[in-house]
Every structure is written in structure tokens, then in C-alpha cells.
Structure 1
Amino acid sequence: MERRAFIKASMALAAWCGVPAMSTLFTRSAEAAEANVADGGELPFDFNALKKMAKDLADKPYGGAPQPLPKTLAELTPQAYNAIQYDHAHSLWNGLPDRQLDVELFHVGMGFKRRVRMYSVDPVKHMAREIHFRPELFNYHDAGVDTKQLEGFSNLGFAGFKVNKAPELTRRDVVSFLGASYFRAVDDTYQYGLSARGVAVDTFTDQPEEFPDFTAFWFDTPKPGDTTFTVYALLDGMSITGAYKFVIHCEPTRVVMEIENHLHAREDIKQLGISPMTSMFSCGTSERGRCDTIHPQIHDSDRLEMWTGNGEWICRPLNNPQSLQFNAFSDNSPKGFGLLQLDHDFDNYQDVIGWYNKRPSLWVEPVGDWGKGAVNLMEIPTTGETLDNVVCFWQPEKPVKSGAEFSFSYKLYWSSEPPHRSPLANVLATRTGMGGFPEGWAPGENYPQVWARRFAIDFVGGELKAFADKGIEPVINVSHGKIKNIEILYVQPFDGYRILFDWYPDSDSVAPVELRMFLRNGQTALSETWLYQYFPPAPEKRKYIDDRKMTK
């Protein structure tokens, strides 16, 4: 996935069901054109109508690839595409009194071939007007676009939209929907990071992944002074259609989205992903072998956090593996999960381009009972920071058959800190390095050169200090190999505890090592559960070099 431009945007132009004929939709009102950017004729609209539209669409064949764009748009470079800016004077809610939010649209072009239709809705009258593409809505600057080629393309549509927030209504966007069903939001740092999607289809199966598109959006006109707005979306893909309702709260320090979807399967789906999110993890506090960079860390997210249906809190630090890895964490009625970015210290990144210390976390809070399924995590090897290489989503247990209908409701929290954390001690950081000897020493004459891998997991918060005198016991489970040399250290600089242990191989296997640990006192759990996946090197690489015996 191309992070910077979402090149995997649209793959097909759908046949529209339940939508009036194009001739009707393109009937223009001169008065509306003068008064409002929405220049189409009035049409009835509400969420029930959209749900029927999605259902009817699923009964028809998928429309196939999008129609070609004019050459001047299809051949745009990323730099030229970014030069095209929406004209602030034509923003959707430009005339609204006490305007706190406003909508601006993205131009089609480059990899954004899907022609997305946009509508402005009067929520009182339940009437919608379409916004038709016309060049005067944009400033082309030095993009080199030949606008004469755009004449006659009244159905060109748009690529997506962004929402700006007061007091900088022409400069600060807080929400962006662009490409396929991708969307993002920011917290009060105004720094975008990971992305969400409307749905994921066959992310990790024996057939190519499908990227359904949001093909149309309807915007309820907000009341004066509102910092909440509602947008509806129609989803269309080869295997699935859907009707979505987003109630988006643009709060002072975060964005909260209340999402309701109604999905219809056109075909059998091997793997359906609900509330999917994509992020980037190049390197963090452990396993830096694939990260050749001047920066101490590079990642949009540092962990997968899960609050399971039985109340257990689980922290799974992210990896940049040597080969693609897929893990499924089974659950029943999950309370929440998300990809989190909890390290906001600039010194730990030293990055003035990506500003990874400012990137938000994304937390999913299911509404209602989602039943049995699994939180799925896919990690893809990467040598840089330009590709999203982490995918996470909820997969329902039951397989999806053609003709099936299902609905999910949930909340998304885009914020520096998730809305919920374990009241027990939380994982602060995970570190790994060579082991098999006391901390502060090295393999050599005083200690056998027996290869091992050391792990250091830092815990903070909870009641660890209160139980220090009573005894803190690390409970460690490992899929293969042996655990030795366990130590518990209080670390004053972060006012927490570091658990040290060494993993020793008991075979030549290079299969991933699944590690699991939590802290307890007697029968009292003191921490959330730490999970980790370690990839041992080949046997011939399990050697130490005694630097006192190094030769040319």
C-alpha cells in the first residue's frame, strides 16, 4: 500500500442501483449554483434510502474498472497532483453562520481514478443536492493541467474529501477520506498517521486482496456552531456492498467517529475484515536488524492493544519481520482493540519530516455484541517507512456466503492516548539483545559463549510498587526453547520495573517463538499480558565473537 498517496485507490466504477438516472442527477438549478456549491436538483435522501440502495446494488453485477480519465489527469505526477488545491471560496459550508467545520473536495487524477459522487443534504427536509465537478472549484496552480480536456466531463466526480476545523478553516484539516474506503483523522497535534478502512476483503488468503470503494458521500448540513457532522457513504466492491453512517465528533483533543454499517455479500468471502486499520512499523525499541536509519525509532504505531471479552488486557508489540507474518487472536465479544502510538518523546525518533512522536493512536470500541471471531494482525517486511506494512481487523467466526447481510456498529477514537487502558501495570517498552551472561558483561573467558537472546520488558503504573515487598512474580510461557536468568529490577528514571530473562534454543528450529508474560503476586494479577513473537536466527548464526580474540 502506498502510504503517501494511497495509490491503491479505486478499482472499478460501479453500476448505480436505486440512484436516479444520470440525466436527472445532472439537471442543474441556476439559483442553487449561485447560492451553493451543490448545484444539482433536489432528491429525497435518508439513511434508510441508502441502505436500500446498497441492498439493490448487491443484486446487480459489479461494474468493473473505472472509465479512463482525461490524459492531463491520468498522467499527473504526485507533485503535480498535490499542487491542485480546492478553492476555499467554494467550500461546502462556506455560508454557514458560526461555522466550526467545513468540507473541501479532492480532485481525481494520478492513481485516484474512482469518480466519487458528492451530495449536500438538508437533514430537516431529507433532500439532497449533488455537487457536480467543474474546474472553477479548484486552483490548479503549477500542476500543468489542461482544463480544456476537462470540458464535457460533468460526471468526472471527485476523489474524496477533507474536513477543516476552526479557527483555521482554510489550513487545518482533521478528517480525510481518500482512495478506496480509506480514511484518517488527527488529534490536537494535527499530524496524520495510521489509516482506517470501511472494510477489508481477503487480506490474507490464497486469492488477491480486494479493495472496495466508497463511491458516494452525502453530507448532512450541520447547525451553526456544531463541531459534529454526519456523513453517509455507499460502498461498492466485487464481493460486497454496504451503507455506512459516520457521526464524527471533532473534539478539542481528538476525533471520535460513531460508525454504523449494513453490508451485503455479492459473493462468498473467505476473509471479511471489520473495522480494518493499516499502519507502519519499521523499527522500535527491539529487533532493529532491518532498520538502517539515522533515527532511533520509525513507526506510526508501536503495539496492538486488546481488551478481550473476558476482561484481559493484552499488549502485543509490533514487529518488522523477515517474512510476512499473520496472527489471529481469538476472542468472544471483544471490548476493544487498536493500534497504538504511545511513545510521544521526540528524542526517541529525532525525525523532523515524519514527526512520528505526534502520530495518533486508533482504538476500536465495538457497540453491541460482536460474538465470536478474532483480532487479526498481519505484519509485512519493510526496509523503509514509505509503505504501510501492518494490517489489523476483526474477523467474524462465521464464513460469509453470497447473499448474506450483516451489520456492525462501533466507535473509532483518534487520539494520542486511547480512551481506555488497563488499570493494572502497562507495558512501557520491549527491548531485545544478546544474552547468556550477566547484564553489564559480555561473552568471553569468564562466561561460556553459549548463545541466547535477552528480553527486557518495562512495566509502569498499576500497583507494582505496593507489591514490591510482597513479591512480584513474572509468569512466562514460551512455545519452544527455555527461559533462564530471570531478574526483576526497579528502574527509577521511569519509576517502573524491568523484567529481564534469556531465551535459550533447545533445537535448530527457526520457527517463530511465541512468548507470553504477565506479573502477579500469588493469585493477584499485577499487569496486563505481554505477547511477543521472536524469530530466532539460523543455527550457524548463533555465535558470539570474543572481542579480545578478534583477528584480521
Structure 2
Amino acid sequence: MNRRMFMKASMAFATLSGMSGLSTLLARSAWANADIADGVAQPFDFNLLKKHAANLAKKPYGGAAAPLPDTLANLTPQAYNEIAYDPAHALWSNIKGHQLDVQFFHVGMGFKRRIRMFSVDPANREAREIHFRPELFNYNKAHVDTKQLEGKTDLGFAGFRVFKAPDLSSRDIVSFLGASYFRAVDDTYQYGLSARGIAINTFSSTPEEFPDFTAYWFETPKAGDTTFTVYALLDGPSCTGAYKFTIHCEKKQVVMEIENNLYARKDIAQLGIAPMTTMFSCGTNERRVCDTIHPQIHDSDRLAMWTGKGEWICRPLNNPQRLAFNAFEDENPRGFGMLQTDHNFDDYQDVIGWYNKRPSLWVEPVGNWGKGTIDLLEIPTTGETMDNIVCFWNPAETITAGSEHRFSYKLYWSSLPPVHSNLARVYATRTGMGGFPEGWAPGEHYPDVWARRFAVDFIGGDLNAAAPKGITPVIDISSGTIKQVEILYVQPFNGYRILFDWYPDTPSTEAVNMRMYLRTGSETLSETWLYQYFPPPPDKRNYVDDRQMHA
């Protein structure tokens, strides 16, 4: 279990009782170890699920999760971690030669939503429910009073995780847990950032909502399959949804093909499609809270965007001192994602979080998404225990009660995205005090004029070939003045560093938006670097000489 598995408890509850074609799977048959699905067979397909989600949106929202038995509601995180699913009862353990298997998370602690699980026979399109029973779990030292759980087949489960051969019991590669959150790994087996089924009113005048996946249907794969399909029902105060996940568990990455069908119960001010949440505490460009043994602490270091017009954009992440929201307009985006581009252990020195192993997440829209914005929310944090970065696609169309919407896309959980530009790309962004030549410091030899220095490193592309012709940085800023621009070749990473100092021209502390790319003549050489800098107040714009000199 990861440190942030406990962050988002389920926030809504609705039953599936009364749904047409999928109703009331509560009758039980004899249970055998060979098949943990013990419910009565009922017809199931994606069209039935979509019809049910549409009908559910016409009814009032069911409200908060029902109370759990005291022995589960009062669990500590440590006790909850002690509860383990019994691999002998994994969903597909009865398939000889199976490459994939599924285990379920126990409800308890902050995970109060009782999620229903179904096994689907793809041959006859019939589903049978998997009811909760204590014998599916090993409680170890959790000190759970299992007598309080006897006969409570309606407890359901909190979520599920997926395992891949040859390790079908101890190292999972996909996890769905809490509200509509889910994650996957690459070949490092290290979880990092999370995705969500939907984001609603993340940054708007109305409170943010966290709809839940309230039921899952698992298609039984063939023995040699490394791809499986799971369907999900989403339910929340403002919308419902029917989801289809086709999940490819490949050798070096996990790829998810997602189709969502959304049905609005209410008007929605801000709808987030393909949302992802990550953590950025400090890095090469932001050192404010890095007073630890770790040079950097982050799950992701940048937002990358490939626009509908073909422009490649790098936006380094910030840990701002106050909440920051940005919306980047686009039409039919080709892709975007949160990337972890630095995989060097020496840059983190972390043997607990293993940030150098964390995957990137890339969104590839399927079909035309039309006009909208890629929204980025950055929340101040003082450490590494909170996901403080949120990103998603916000369609321009108005989301009104009774409307229906469909989006298809792919998610790539991998070290780096599956696509990249042939242009030079941003290698790193660094900031520090400026106003004096490199190699010197403010003081007696140079005026004590406050400025902020930026160093943006570019690698790859045609930089080396273009150098004899001249490399020109094209820099735009929303306020202030740029001085001391330098272009330096840096042999250790075989790239170019662009140095410049930013000087304020007002006492304002409002964000300064910066934009830069490289060109030679009229030819573009690099992707576009975007940055947002928050100047300190005027009384903090000085250099402090804290040397103690004694005779």
C-alpha cells in the first residue's frame, strides 16, 4: 500500500438495486474455491451498463456511504495494511496457465464505499456477483472482529488490484482504490501519480466533487492473455457514468484504452476529462521546501503538451506559496501528460519513495475533442505526503443537467511518453539569485540590485548542427525586464544552457508568465518552455550577507 492510498476516501454511495437487465444479483449459489463469483447469472454488456447509468442520472443521488461495522470503521492505517487478500481466492486463479489475476481490497478506515464486483463470462455475456465474505481475506494482526462481518455479504469491497505472471501474488501492476482513483506501473513496479475517472469542479465557485466507481465487471480473459477488460459504473452528486477499460499489461508499460459515457444530473461548472493527480514538492527549479537530505522530491517534474496545431510545450511544475491555476487553450489536442523525466537515483537519494523509478502518464485522445483547455492546478505543500498537482482536459462546451457526453482516450503508464518531438527538448529548469555575472556573487564588486536568474537547459534535436549558424532564444514575459541573456554549450549533457535574469519593474507579487523557444533564423529548434514565477514582496527583494567576520 502506498502512502497516498489513504488520501481520498470514497465520498458518495448508491446501490444498483432496481436496475433493468442487471438487477438484484443477491441470490447466492454454493461457493467453491474454483470460482469466487457466487451470485446468480444475469445478462451483461456495455450497452446495458450505459442504459443503467443514463437512467440512474435521472434519479436523486443516493448520498454518503453507509456506516461500516465498528471494527472496520475504526481501523488505523497500520491495521488496515495488515489485511491481505488470500491469493488462493484470486479471481482468475482457476484458469490454468493464466497470466493475469485480480485481488480485492477490504473496506475499512477511510474506504467506506461498498463497491460491488462481478465476473463476466465473455462467451454468453452473463455476469455473476462476487459477494464479500471474511474467508477471502487474511486479517493477520489487524485485530478485526470477524464476528461483526459474518453474514454481511453486502459489505462489498473497496477496490481491486491486478497481478501479472510470473508474480501473481505479491507485486501488483494496476490498482483501483478510493473514489474513482486508479494507478499503474511500468517495468520498475513503482507506483507514482494517480489518474481519476472524472474530475468535477476542481477549481470553481462550487465545492469539488469526488464521484465513486460503485461497481466493476471483469471479463474473464483467456489463459495466455495479458490484456483484460473491466467495466465500471460511476455515480456522484452531479453525474453518472459508464466506463470501459481495456488494459494492456505490456512488458515495459501499462496501456489503458478508456471509453467513458457521462450523464449529467446537474449543471457542471468545470468537467475534468482524463484527470491525473501528482506530487511536486521540490526540484531543480523550486528549492523552497527542500531542506532535507533529498536534492529533489517529486512524482512528476513537468506538464507536457502536444497541441492540436502541433506545438510541443514543456511546463515545469511548481510548488507555489499560494494556490495557482492555469488554463491552456487548445483544440483537438494530440496529447498531454505529467512526466517524470529524471530517473537518476543520485538526484533524489531516496530509498523509501524511489522517485527515480516513478512512471510518467501520457494521455492520447481518440477522435476529436474539440475546443477546451488543459487545466493545471498547483497547490502549496510543505512535504511529500500530499498530491498537490491536478491536471485534466476541460471541454469548452457547457455541461448542463440531462446532457450526455462521450470521450475516448488512451493512457500510457511508462518511463517516458510513447511519442516525442524531433525538436530539442527541455532537459532541466533551474532558478536562483541573479543580478551579477556567473562565477561571482552580489556584494562589494557589483551593485546590490535584486534579480532572479533562470537557467533552462535544452538537449537533442538539431542544436549542434544549428550552433555554427547561431542559436537565438526567443523570450516573452508578462511583466518585468530580461537582462544578461547568455547561451552556453554544456559538454556533460551535450546541450545548451540559456541563462537570463529577470528584473521586476513594479512591487507586484502577481505571477510572471514566461515563454521561450530556440530558433536559428526563422527555423524553430526547440519545444516551447513555459514557466510561472511568483516574485517576492519588495521587502524580501534583497541579498542577505550572513557572514560573521572577526579579527
Who is 1:517 aligned against? 516
Alpha-carbon spacing, 1:548–1:53, altered in 2? closer, same or farther (3 Å): closer
TM alignment of 1:358-373, pairs within 5 A: 358-373=357-372
Cα distance, 1:21 vs structure 2: 10
Contact 2:22/2:43, CA 8 A, preserved across alignment = no
Who is 1:64 aligned against? 63
Contact 2:425/2:527, CA 8 A, preserved across alignment = yes
Distance 1:24 1:360 in 2: 40
Between 153-162 and 2-11, the greater mean CA deviation after superposition = 2-11
Cα distance, 1:443 vs structure 2: 1.3
TM alignment of 1:251-400, pairs within 5 A: 251-400=250-399
Who is 1:428 aligned against? 427
**Matched residue type, 2:149:** L
Alpha-carbon spacing, 1:405–1:426, altered in 2? closer, same or farther (3 Å): same
**Matched residue type, 2:26:** F
Who is 2:102 aligned against? 103
Deviations 1:2-33 (A, max 9, x none): 95233422122214365369994121122x54
TM alignment of 1:163-312, pairs within 5 A: 163-312=162-311
Who is 2:16 aligned against? 16
Cα distance, 1:154 vs structure 2: 1.1
Distance 2:546 2:145 in 1: 65
Contact 1:283/1:298, CA 8 A, preserved across alignment = yes
Contact 2:16/2:23, CA 8 A, preserved across alignment = no
Who is 1:28 aligned against? 28
Distance 1:531 1:308 in 2: 14
Cα distance, 1:548 vs structure 2: 7.3
SS at 1:245 equivalent: strand
Cα distance, 1:454 vs structure 2: 0.5
Cα distance, 1:547 vs structure 2: 6.4
Who is 1:482 aligned against? 481
Contact 2:21/2:44, CA 8 A, preserved across alignment = no
TM alignment of 1:456-535, pairs within 5 A: 456-535=455-534
Distance 2:312 2:4 in 1: 33
Distance 1:490 1:523 in 2: 21
Cα distance, 1:436 vs structure 2: 0.9
Distance 2:16 2:176 in 1: 21
TM-score scaled by length of structure 1: 0.97
Large movers: runs of 4+ above 4 Å: 20-24, 546-552
Who is 1:5 aligned against? 5
Alpha-carbon spacing, 1:134–1:523, altered in 2? closer, same or farther (3 Å): same
Cα distance, 1:308 vs structure 2: 0.3
Alpha-carbon spacing, 1:547–1:144, altered in 2? closer, same or farther (3 Å): closer
Alpha-carbon spacing, 1:534–1:96, altered in 2? closer, same or farther (3 Å): same
Distance 2:111 2:442 in 1: 56
SS at 2:13 equivalent: coil
Alpha-carbon spacing, 1:440–1:22, altered in 2? closer, same or farther (3 Å): same
SS at 2:190 equivalent: coil
Cα distance, 1:34 vs structure 2: 4.9
**Matched residue type, 1:254:** Q
**Matched residue type, 2:414:** S
Distance 2:137 2:303 in 1: 40
| Alignment RMSD | 1.6
Cα distance, 1:322 vs structure 2: 0.2
Contact 1:259/1:411, CA 8 A, preserved across alignment = yes
Contact 1:97/1:225, CA 8 A, preserved across alignment = no
SS at 1:155 equivalent: helix
Between 440-449 and 383-392, the greater mean CA deviation after superposition = 440-449
Who is 1:152 aligned against? 151
Equivalent residues, number: 550
SS at 2:321 equivalent: coil
Contact 2:303/2:317, CA 8 A, preserved across alignment = yes
Distance 2:87 2:33 in 1: 16
Distance 1:310 1:73 in 2: 52
Distance 2:442 2:176 in 1: 54
**Matched residue type, 1:62:** Y
**Matched residue type, 2:260:** N
Distance 1:22 1:57 in 2: 13
Contact 2:21/2:42, CA 8 A, preserved across alignment = no
Deviations 1:105-163 (A, max 9, x none): 00000000000000000011100010000000000001000000012311000000000
**Matched residue type, 1:9:** A
Distance 1:136 1:116 in 2: 18
Contact 1:18/1:57, CA 8 A, preserved across alignment = no
Cα distance, 1:44 vs structure 2: 0.3
Distance 2:489 2:334 in 1: 32
Contact 1:17/1:53, CA 8 A, preserved across alignment = no
Alpha-carbon spacing, 1:445–1:43, altered in 2? closer, same or farther (3 Å): same
Tell me whether 1:88 sits opposite 2:87 in the alignment. Answer: yes
Distance 1:182 1:16 in 2: 20
Cα distance, 1:208 vs structure 2: 1.3
Distance 2:385 2:8 in 1: 14
**Matched residue type, 1:529:** T
Contact 1:120/1:131, CA 8 A, preserved across alignment = yes
Distance 2:310 2:456 in 1: 22
Contact 1:486/1:499, CA 8 A, preserved across alignment = yes
Alpha-carbon spacing, 1:162–1:549, altered in 2? closer, same or farther (3 Å): closer
Deviations 1:262-281 (A, max 9, x none): 00000000000000000000
TM alignment of 1:125-164, pairs within 5 A: 125-164=124-163
Distance 2:523 2:302 in 1: 25
SS at 2:169 equivalent: coil
Cα distance, 1:286 vs structure 2: 1.5
Deviations 1:180-215 (A, max 9, x none): 000000000000000000000000012211000000
**Matched residue type, 1:270:** A
Percent identity reads 72
Unpaired runs of 5+ residues, structure 2, are none
Distance 2:24 2:232 in 1: 21
Contact 2:245/2:256, CA 8 A, preserved across alignment = yes
Distance 1:297 1:24 in 2: 51
TM-score scaled by length of structure 2: 0.98
Distance 2:232 2:46 in 1: 10
Between 116-125 and 436-445, the greater mean CA deviation after superposition = 436-445
Tell me whether 1:538 sits opposite 2:529 in the alignment. Answer: no
TM alignment of 1:35-50, pairs within 5 A: 35-50=34-49
SS at 2:79 equivalent: helix
Cα distance, 1:399 vs structure 2: 1.8
Alpha-carbon spacing, 1:437–1:157, altered in 2? closer, same or farther (3 Å): same
**Matched residue type, 1:172:** R
Contact 1:243/1:263, CA 8 A, preserved across alignment = yes
Distance 1:469 1:531 in 2: 26
**Matched residue type, 1:11:** M
Distance 1:393 1:326 in 2: 12
Deviations 1:69-116 (A, max 9, x none): 000000000000010000000000001121110000000000000000
Distance 2:276 2:268 in 1: 19
